[in-house]
Amino acid sequence: MNLIDIRRIVTTVEDIFHEGGPRAAEPPRRGSIAVVMTNPYAGRYEPDILPMMDALTPVGIDMAHRLRAAMDLPPERIESYGKGAIVGAAGELEHGALWHVPGGYAMRELLGWKGDAAAYKRGDSNAGQGGNALAIVPSTKKVGPPGCALDVPLTHINASYVRSHYDAMEVRVPGSPRPDELVFILVMSTGGRVHARVGGLTAAGISKWDGLR
Amino acid sequence: MPAEIRKLIVQVDETHREMGREVNPPTRRALAMAVIRNPFAGRWVEQLDELIAIGEELGGLLGARCVQALGIEPGQAHSYGKAAIVGEAGELEHAAALLHPKLGAPLRKAVEKGAALVPSAKKQGGVGTAIDVPLGHKDAAFVRSHFDAIEARVADAPRADEIVVAVSVTASGRPLPRIGGLQVSEIQGQDGLR
């Protein structure tokens, strides 16, 4: 049985210039990719769903690369990421949980080999972003009807506690998921909130390189 | 005054399969949206020239963004459509000023030719309001395989003093069209209808 049957792919890229305050010198660019596919386990309880997790690995990698291409940026520009899943009504939440490993792995594959954390830590301005994707990829999932919106969380790729980068992007595919479908989502952004000003850890203040701070 | 753009959003929607059947080549539809400040929010303004000029600017910008996102040559575009959602402090006529007098000409330039009317929709709404942008073939409005619509929506717009302007350009018709009517191969492309 072929576990992967993709029906639709929807990419979104948005440039945020301001939100009522000063225009951003570098407007954050946020992107999402949503893949709509058949849920091979819809309509029944299937005890062993792990084969689907393996089958999703190349899908995730392809999605991450497609999203980066749509955002038209080098991977070093990506500062935050997140992932999510929407399960059609004939499926169960656990089917959405299949996305945790392949979705997270995909973006780390894209970002993880880039950058030089040691140089970044030294403050070497030519080192670029220490894009090692050290932090957990935040996620959310739900069971929902066609057109259901999912608020996909975003956090910094190297330190989950970077307060300026706590964000979420609403992702929604009109008409999907049908009851026997799954929507798997990846989101990435080049920056935090456009007018971030509530203090806390900043990207420049990352010091422990443990994925948290 | 040029448009004061708060956000620019570009989407591409591809359909690869439908009802278990392969769609080959996949349908591809692009949607570009600008969230702009409504210069006439909250007051009566008789002359809407400023919005008419902004419509002209956005027709070119959003049309080009769609074509770029599809990765096609302008002449390879199939269908198009346009729409606007006016925030609560504006009036429906503001959408009309953006969409109808001058948006079309630069959009047609972005897709090469464009003999047909650009189908449109407009409404007023709050943050997150969705609008279904009608789509029709750019050179012959009666091409039945290309009658379609794409939903446009910005999660955090329009604020009361904003307008969401949407333009869609496609590189295809519906996924598996089979209800007859005028075909792409039969387009004469002279009168914009057939």
Which pLDDT tens digit goes with each residue over A15-74?
A: 999 999 999 999 999 999 999 999 999 999 999 999 999 999 999 999 999 999 999 999
Cβ-nearest to A7 among B5, B10, B17: B17
With an 8 Å Cβ cutoff, are B12 and A170 in contact?
no
**Residue B17's closest chain A neighbor by CA?**
A7
Which of B10, B16, B151 comes nearest A8 by C-beta? B16
Contact criterion met (CB < 8 Å) for A19 and B8? no
**B144-156: average pLDDT:** 96
Q: Best interface-test mutation with A: which of B4, B10, B37, B161 has the largest number of A CBs within 10 A?
A: B10
Q: How many residues make up chain A in this entry?
A: 213
Kindly tell me if the per-residue pLDDT of B149 is higher than 80. yes
The predicted model gives B123-150 an average pLDDT of 96
User: Is A10's CB within 8 Å of B14's CB?
Assistant: yes
Q: Which domains does chain A have, with CATH numbers?
A: 6-205 (3.30.1330.110)
Between helix B104-111 and helix B49-70 the angle, nearest 10°, is 20
Band of residue A149 on the pLDDT scale cut at 50, 70, 90 = very high
| Residues from chain B contacting residue A19 (CB–CB below 8 Å) | 6, 156
In this predicted structure, the answer to whether residue B122 has a pLDDT above a threshold of 80 is yes
How does the average pLDDT of chain B come out, rounded? 96
- What's the pLDDT band for A124 if we cut at 50, 70, 90? low
pLDDT at position A128: 47
Residue A210 pLDDT level (bands cut at 50, 70, 90): confident
Instruction: Report percent pLDDT > 90 for chain B.
Output: 96
Mutate to test the interface with B, among A2, A4, A5, A13 (most CBs of B within 10 A): A13
Give the mean model confidence (pLDDT) for residues A82-87.
Answer: 97
* Chain B: closest CA distance from residue A58 (Å): 17
Residue B145 has pLDDT above 70, yes or no: yes
Per the structure block, which two tokens stand in for B52? 């008419």
Q: How many CA atoms lie within 13 A of A10 on its CB side?
A: 22
3-state secondary structure (DSSP) of residue B194 = coil
Q: Is A16 on the interface with B (CB under 8 A)?
A: yes
Residue B167: HSE in the Cβ half-sphere, 13 Å Cα cutoff:
30
pLDDT at residue A105, as a whole number: 86
What is residue A134's predicted lDDT score, i.e. its pLDDT? 87
Domains of chain B: 5-186 (3.30.1330.110)
Q: What is the pTM assigned to this prediction? A: 0.88
